[in-house]
Amino acid sequence: MKLRLLVVGKGARELAEFESRFDQRMRSFASLQVIELPEGRARQTAQRKQEEAKQILAQAGKGFILFDEHGSMLGSTAWAEYLERLPGNAQLDFVIGGADGVADEVRRQAGACWSLSRLTLPHQLVRAIVLEQLYRAFTIIQGHPYHRV
């Protein structure tokens, strides 16, 4: 399985070691590529979101999953069930928008929209959480003891 995490903006230096740990661990389950997209430069929020939308939609494959505060909240086992239903040669993109969120056009074109929390989270932290949760989902599928409840 090939997974890509498309992220608007750079990762936080403080979280780089954490992300690297899960990037390494994921290699035994799936190919994972993190792609950083440039942040919009416009002064107005709507224009920045439009600039970022062009970048996202140019890169994201059909059926991508968008992380958005208005999305469905799924638990770790639901992530695992979703991934387990995909064929082994599947290619799936996950998208994390910029600090201002995403343009409505991105939301409309997403295959699914998931929320991590009702809290508003910094997009750099969302990136770290998504990497950990992807790893967790694969360990659930494999019956690995990492996931404990």
Mean pLDDT of the chain: 95
**Which whole number is the average pLDDT over 94-122?**
95
How confident is the model at residue 77, as a pLDDT? 96
- The string of pLDDT tens digits covering residues 14-34 is 999 999 999 999 999 999 999
> Binding site for S-adenosyl-L-methionine: residue ranges?
97, 116-121
Q: Range with the lowest mean pLDDT among 10-14, 74-78, 139-143, 144-148?
A: 144-148
pLDDT value of position 96 = 97
The CATH-assigned architecture of domain 2-142 is 3-Layer(aba) Sandwich (3.40)
pLDDT tens-digit map of 125-135: 999 999 999 99
Residue range 120-141: mean pLDDT, rounded: 94
CA 53 – CA 97 distance, rounded (Å): 8
pLDDT at 73 over 90: yes
**In the predicted model, is pLDDT for residue 149 greater than 90?**
no
Q: Please list, in sequence order, all residues whose beta carbon lies within 8 angstroms of the beta carbon of residue 101, skipping any fewer than 6 positions away.
A: 49, 68, 69
**pLDDT for 88:** 84
Binding site members: 97, 116-121
pLDDT tens for each residue of 45-70: 999 999 999 999 999 999 999 999 88
